[in-house]
Amino acid sequence: MSQATLGIRRISGHAGPAPGEDVERAEQVCKLIDTTTCIGCKACEVACLEWNGYTFTDTVFDNSYQTMPETAWNYWNLIKFNEHEREDGSITLLMRKDQCMHCADPGCLAACPADGAIVQYTNGIVDFQQANCIGCGYCVTGCPFDIPKFNPATKKMFKCTLCVDRVSEGLEPACIKSCPTGCLHFGSKDDMKGLAETRATQLRENFGFAKAGVYDPAGVGGTGVIYVLHDVTNPEAYGGLPKDPRIPLLVRLWKGPVKWLGGWSMFFGVLGVAIHYLRYGPKIPQDGHDNRDDSAPGHRDEGVKP
């Protein structure tokens, strides 16, 4: 068994604070994806599958280089190919590696009801613990990026672990290592933000991409996977990257006010009937037949006479 361990910042479905919250300081790890240098080679897809050892699935050609329509429980990262027509009518191929974004404020974790099924380590990696997963799929509900996927055979949810087994041993994630052009880069969040901003500036100043920028959406507290986009104003063009991803309002509502409201309502409901009992007690028939003693356990209705 691995000796590697990581502190935990958040735990899903957990009563009270996470054991590691606010007690450990750790560098936030981050994956930088520069879509402007992605060549859609899918090395990251293969490296991921090889490292994690998952089974193969039959795929079908679908008028695209894309391996499959979306990520799968056993296919955690996927290059999305988009033939995109520029304003001047010229064509371009936008390619974006889609995978778990490792949000600072993870919707999956917020939505998950199972204690310890989703954790966020102190280094920022959001990881599913299949042993604790109950397969309810709530994480799908909470994720604005449509990442968690259900394995029908084991009834567990799966997604990219950011190769936490490698990272905890001091290695970089498998996809990062394999990426031939260096479109994928790994390091601390601060460093990656710096690199990304530098690259975006370079794209704006030297390569004519006036709208180049960094995608690190604030709606989910920033992400542990950030993108450099040629056109940061149109992330949807990159295979449906949401412009302003947030944990759905309904999920916030459900995990917040509804819980409190529901919990307290139940509590007060029980309390209410108890007080009522104390105040009014059980019912006694008005037609003279005394049934009161029946309320006591062990008593039988010998008093009931026709």
Partner 1 sequence: MTNGWIDIKNTDMMLIMGGNPAENHPCGFKWAIEAKRTRNAKMIVVDPRYTRTAATSDLFLQIRAGSDIAFLGGMLRYAIENNRIAHDYLVNYTNAAFIVKEGFQLPEDGLYSGFDPATQTYDKATWNYQEGGDLSGEAATAAPVSGHSSASPLPAHTQPATNQSGPGLTGQGYQGASGAGAKTAEPAKPAPTLPSNTAYDLTLQHPRCVFQLLKQQYSRYTPEMVERITGIPKDQFLKAADLFTSVRKDGDMKQVGTILYAVGWTQHSFGTQIIRAAAILQLLLGNIGRAGGGINALRGHSNIQGATDMGGVFDIWPGYLKTPSPADVDLATYLKRTTPTSSKPAPWESFNYWSNMPKFTVSYLKAMYGDAATKENDFGFHYMPKVDRNYSWTQIWDNMYRGSVKGMLAFGMNGVAIGPDSQKNIDALKKADWLVVGEIYPDETSEFWKSPGITAEEMKTINTTVYRLACAGFAEKDGSMTNSARWLQWKNVAIPPPGEARLDQDIVAQIFLRVRDLYQKEGGKYPDPILNLTWAYTNAQHPALGDLAKELNGNALADLTDPKTQVTIKRGQQLPGFAWLKDDGTTSCGNWLYSGCWTEAGNQLARRGTDDPSGQGIYQNWAWSWPANRRVMYNRASCDSSGKPWDATRKQVWWNESTQLWVGNDVPDFKPDSHPKDHMGPFIMNPEGIGRIFGPLAALADGPFPEHYEPIESPVQNALHPNQSNNPVVKKFTTAADKYATPGDGFNIICTTYRLTEHYHYWTKNNQMNVQLIPEPFVEIPVELAAELGIKGNDKVKVTSARSYYVAKAFVTKRIKPMTIDGKKIYQIGIPIHQGYRGIQEDAGRNARTILNRLTPTVVDPNAYTPEFKGFLVKLEKA
Partner 2 sequence: MTTQALYVKESSDDQLERYSFAERIWHWLGGLSYTYCMLSGLALFTPYLYWLAAVLGGGPTARFWHPWVSLVFLATVLWMYAKWLADLRITDIDHRWVEHINDYVTNRDESLPPQGRFNAGQKVFYWVMFWAVLVLLVSGIVMWFPEWFRPNFHFILPIAVIFHEAAALISIGAIIIHIYMGVFMEPKSLRAMIHGRVSRAWARAYHRLWYERVTEGTSTEK
Partner 3 sequence: MELSRRTFLRGALAGGAGFSLLGFDLTPAVAQLKELKIVRATETRSTCPYCSVSCGVLIYTIGDKAKNVTPQVIHVEGDPDHPINRGTLCPKGASLEQDILNPRRLLKPQVRRPGSDHWEDIAWTQALDEIAHWVKKTRDDTFIEKDAQGHTVNRCEGMAWIGGCTDTNEFNYLVVKTMRSLGLTYIENQARV
Among 5, 63, 206, 286, binds partner 3 (CB under 8 A): 5
Contact between 174 and partner 3 per CB under 8 A: yes
Subset of 198-227 contacting partner 3 (CB under 8 A): none
Hey, what are 47's tokens? 């490296």
Residues whose CB falls within 8 Å of the CB of residue 141, separated by 6 or more in sequence, listed in order: 107, 111, 248, 251
Residue 288: CB atoms within 10 Å: 6
How many CB atoms are closer than 10 A to CB 115? 14
Using CB under 8 A, pick the residue from 66, 123, 141, 178 that binds partner 3: 178
* Separation CA 257–CA 151 (nearest Å): 31
- Rounded to whole angstroms, the Cα distance separating 73 from 151 reads 6
CA 295 from chain centre, in angstroms, equals 53
What distance lies between CA 185 and its chain's CA centroid?
21
Q: Give the residue among 173, 182, 199, 210 at the shortest CA–CA distance from 86.
A: 210
The answer to whether residue 16 forms part of the interface with partner 3 (CB under 8 A) is: yes
Phi/psi zone of residue 137: left (φ > 0), alpha (ψ -120 to 50 degrees), beta? left
Is there binding between residue 14 and partner 3 (CB under 8 A)? yes
Nearer to partner 3, 111 or 164 (CB): 164
Six token digits for residue 138: 């709530």
Count of positions (residues) in the chain: 306
CB of 106 to partner 2, least distance (A): 15
87 binds partner 1, rule: CB under 8 A? no
DSSP-assigned letter for residue 274 = H
Distance CA 271, CA 258 (A): 19
Rule CB under 8 A: say whether 119 interacts with partner 3: yes
Task: Say whether residue 129 binds partner 3 (CB under 8 A).
Answer: yes
Among 2, 3, 5, 206, binds partner 1 (CB under 8 A): 206
- Judged by beta carbon distances under 5 to 8 A according to partner kind, the member of partner 1, partner 3, partner 2, none in contact with residue 169 is partner 3
Q: For residue 133, what are its two tokens?
A: 């997963």
Nearer to partner 1, 14 or 193 (CB): 193
Considering beta carbons, is residue 84 or 252 the nearer one to partner 1?
84
Q: Counting contacts by CB under 8 A, is residue 116 touching partner 3?
A: yes
In terms of Cβ atoms closer than 10 Å to its own Cβ (0-12, 13-18, 19+), residue 109 is buried
88 sits near partner 1 (criterion: CB under 8 A): no
Binding of residue 24 to partner 3 (CB under 8 A)? yes
- Exposed, middle or buried by CB within 10 Å (0-12, 13-18, 19+), for 116? middle
Q: Using CB under 8 A, list all residues that contact partner 2.
A: 13-16, 70, 113-115, 117, 132-138, 140-143, 146, 149-150, 152, 155, 240, 248, 250-251, 253-254, 258-259, 261-263, 265-266, 269-270, 273, 276-277, 280-287, 289, 291, 294-295, 300-302, 304-306
* Residue among 9, 31, 32, 36 that touches partner 1 (CB under 8 A): 36
Interacting residues with partner 1 (CB under 8 A): 36-43, 45-46, 49-50, 56-65, 67, 83, 85, 90-95, 180-183, 199, 202, 206-208
Interacting residues with partner 3 (CB under 8 A): 1-2, 4-8, 11, 14-16, 18-20, 23-24, 41-43, 45-47, 50-51, 53, 114-117, 119, 129, 131-132, 161, 164-166, 168-169, 171, 174, 177-180, 182
